[in-house]
Chain A
Amino acid sequence: MVLIALFIVAVGAAWWATHRQAPAVGDSIVVYSTKVDGTTLLPWRVSLGSARDRSSVAFYAATQCVAGPPPSVDAVRFPAGTHVRAVDVEGTTADVDLSPEVDASAAGGFAEAAEFKALVWTLTQPQLGIDAVRVRIGGARVATLPGGHLELDEPLSRASF
């Protein structure tokens, strides 16, 4: 009986230990959007689902950021149709490939600054271990969005905004 009890305790302890450490980035992640004042960040927390490794979580977080908060929330949103094509994480830099629909946000510095600020803050949250974000549009590096203002061909960090 004692052996059985010890066995159950050992199994339970092992399960607790392994499941406590498996989600290295936690069960949820903070996704930022920028309020309609163009500068104030609005954090909201989303569940991670099955994403666990760093690249998958980064892709998931970037996708959530680009999709934006629920419709009832007033925020600056990426242009309709914009989606994340890929996120590659190497060291402390994430390389985000956005679909070309994002070009539409270049008109005026307000929208593009607000959008990319939210994206950079989302990907550089501490639990991801990322401190810089490189951007591609449609697979290509760009100096700015067409007609845009924000320099995109060098990594962006929180200090960029």
Chain B
Amino acid sequence: MNRSPAHRSDRAFAALACLSLVLGPLAARGQERASPLWFQGTRLIFSHAVPLADDLAVPTRDPGMRHFLERLGATVSYDPQQRYVVVTSEDRRSIVFTLGDPTYAIGGVRARAPFAPRADGDDVDLPFFTLARALYVEPLVDGGETVLQPRIGALDVRTDGPHTSVSVTGAMPLVTDGQHDSPERLQLAFVGQGSALGPLRDALGPAVSTIDVAVGGTARVPTTTLTIAGTPGSTHRIVSGPAPDTLIIVFDAPSSGAVAVARTPPTPPPLPAEVGPIGSALTPPPSAEPGPTAAPPIVAGRATVTDLEIAPGADDALSVQVTLSGAVPYTWHRLPDHRWYVDLAEATLTGPGREEHPSFGAVQSVRVAQIGGDDAPAVRIAFTMSADQQVDLAPSASGLTITVSTAPATDLLRAGSGQTGGAPLVASSVMPGPEPTPSAPSGPGSRIIVIDPGHGGDDHGTEHNGLSEKAITLDIADRLRALLLAQGWNVRMTRETDVDPVTAANLARMRADGVANPTDRAYLQTRCDVANDVNARLFISIHVNSAPISSARGTTFYWYKPQDLPFAQALEKSVIPAAATQDDGTRHENFYVIRHTTMPAVLIETAFITNLEDVGLLRQPAFLQRLAQGIANGVKAYAGSPAANAVSQQQ
């Protein structure tokens, strides 16, 4: 059969077209190779990447994409049956892409990508550079190559009364290269992370004057220096954030009671070599100078350690009983690598130090050493643990009891301080009880009450009229803790700072079980586990209510299990007279934390943040104290005192 030249020309054109269709993407992929991507000192290699509209289309399961996300601690979830691709950063920000839609959302804020994510088999192509920027990684051209530079991406300043919290969030875990510290000024250098953030000068609250951000180094090895200048007389403390890539620095104005707290130790004992360098950790050493307003109720002279007993505790815990000849202040620190230590200031050992490797418990080693000079002696007790485990401190008139349990740490603060000798605890993220925790019986006779301050961290709860639920619930919880401790209860809190607590185990388990939306459930379950794991006597969840109608007001006591109801009724009878709020009664609701706790549990919605009358109350510290007192009275009415309770159980 003859073919005309025109026909041959058409066939050739068609063949070329087909060839271009096949080779086009390959050529495009080759462009990616022509401009290599570097991240953290190594080349990032994608198996399937296609340049597209000033971005790079990369499947979520591409090995290069996976490596990139893993380095950032981010996770991606995509179900081919759904339209959404959710990337969650280490600090729990969600970046949500929608198939076929170029708009995407970062933490609820909508933005536009150069192209819409597209399905590719059972995977989906995402705009890689857009995603990187959302994760605080900036693509920079350097010498003909593209460098993916991690950055300090957020600087959040919040004021709560005399406290100003500065939250720093980076793309990667924050590692400081030395810090220069004085009570009123903090300078931190973050190596390996750049920044495009500018200085902050205004509206920084009563404790902070300025925040400066300076970037040095190169595109590949940047350094960001953060300098925070406090107001005259202010002091500061560093606490860990909800994730390793977040650091929170709290500055306290001079009138704050916490000022005395942060500067309680009169002299900073240096860190011995065996405890490890702290310059790269997020925990600052104690200040060299007492704060200008440091006037803690401490009358501490020098004391000697007359006895130190290391013994097994209940449930495979380890207990260290320190007996002192006098009262001393102490500070404790949790280091990032499963180490924890407490320094007893102005204390001396009567003999040489010691190091033990107990054959029981979750502690690998215990070291006791004399540190500091003659002018500032201190005794350091340091633990190396197999994980970040719960450490409880119980000061008493005769000294201090330290208990390391096998439970995961719930005290996310990395440092705290206190005092032995029976004086009130001035500050710590631990809950000293009248008795060491391990000796507490479990179940109905348990001496442990768990307080759950609702929300925290990214979960602000309800916010209206200038008030934030998560701050109020923590305030009430702190007050309630003090009252329950005074009653003789051992108290644990599901959170003690502005975080939304979660354990890695819960996150992993929820994901392994295939439970939908595992993150939310894991976070809620963690709160329940704090109580369930110790078989607490009671669980009290504190919240602030909100309603779409401003007339709704009052206090509500929510219960779920039948065993909750008598406790809810007892709280209602005591809280309403104490707080003088409208009694909205007890209500049966399917709320997670009261459903999944195994002991009597009540969720108290204390007042409505949407009602002006209730808001007026919520603004008053005296009202928050009355609420706490009412709850404490209700606990006493329902459960009696812990001592009497224990006796009744024995009988």
Contacts and interface: CB of A to CB of B under 8 A. Distances in A.
Interface stretch (B61-69, B226-234, B603-611): B603-611
A84 to B, nearest CB: 17
Interface stretch (B243-251, B311-319, B434-442, B459-467): B459-467
B630 to A, nearest CB: 19
A142 B590 contact: no
Interface centre among B463, B517, B584 (most CB of A within 10 A): B517
Interface in A110-161: 110-111, 113, 138-144, 146-147, 149-151, 153, 156, 160-161
A139 B544 contact: no
A79 B592 CA distance: 22
Nearest to B609: A108
B304 to A, nearest CB: 51
A109 interface: yes
Interface in B580-598: 584, 587-593, 595-596
Contacts of B596: 151
A98 B262 CA distance: 48
B84 A149 contact: no
Contact of A139 (B83, B587, B590): B83
Tell me which of B469, B543, B552, B588 has the highest count of chain A C-beta atoms within 10 A of its own C-beta: B552
B109 to A, nearest CB: 14
B589 A144 contact: no
A151 B556 CA distance: 18
Contact of B556 (A76, A110, A146): A110
Contacts of B516: 140-143, 153
B592 A143 contact: yes
B143 interface: no
A114 to B, nearest CB: 8
A109 B461 contact: no
Contacts of A109: 543, 545, 556, 558, 589, 591, 603, 605
Contacts of A107: 461-463, 469, 546
A121 to B, nearest CB: 14
Contacts of B552: 36-38, 110
B590 A147 contact: no
A143 B556 CA distance: 23
A124 to B, nearest CB: 14
Interface in B542-556: 543-549, 551-552, 556
B521 A111 contact: no
Contacts of A36: 547, 549, 551-552
A111 B469 CA distance: 15
A83 interface: no
Contacts of A161: 588-590
A39 interface: yes
A27 interface: no
Given A107-B469, A108-B546, A111-B546, A147 B521 contact: no
Nearest to A145: B520
A146 B544 contact: no
Contacts of B521: 143-144, 153
Nearest to B595: A151
Interface string B558-598: 10000000000000000000000000100111111101100
Contacts of B518: 143
B524 to A, nearest CB: 6
B455 interface: yes
B595 A111 contact: no
B82 interface: yes
Contacts of A53: none
A110 B460 CA distance: 16
Contacts of A77: 548
A144 B547 contact: no
24 contacts: A37-B552, A38-B547, A38-B556, A76-B547, A79-B548, A107-B461, A107-B469, A108-B610, A109-B543, A109-B558, A109-B605, A113-B589, A139-B82, A139-B84, A142-B517, A143-B517, A144-B521, A147-B461, A149-B543, A150-B589, A156-B590, A160-B590, A161-B588, A161-B589
Interface of B: 82-84, 455, 459-463, 469, 515-518, 520-521, 524, 543-549, 551-552, 556, 558, 584, 587-593, 595-596, 603, 605, 608-610
Given A107-B462, A142-B516, A153-B516, 15 more contacts: A38-B547, A38-B556, A39-B587, A74-B549, A108-B461, A108-B543, A110-B552, A113-B591, A144-B592, A147-B460, A149-B543, A149-B591, A149-B593, A149-B603, A156-B590
Give the 8 A-B residue pairs with the shortest CB-CB distance, closest first.
A108-B546, A107-B462, A141-B516, A143-B521, A160-B590, A108-B545, A107-B546, A143-B520
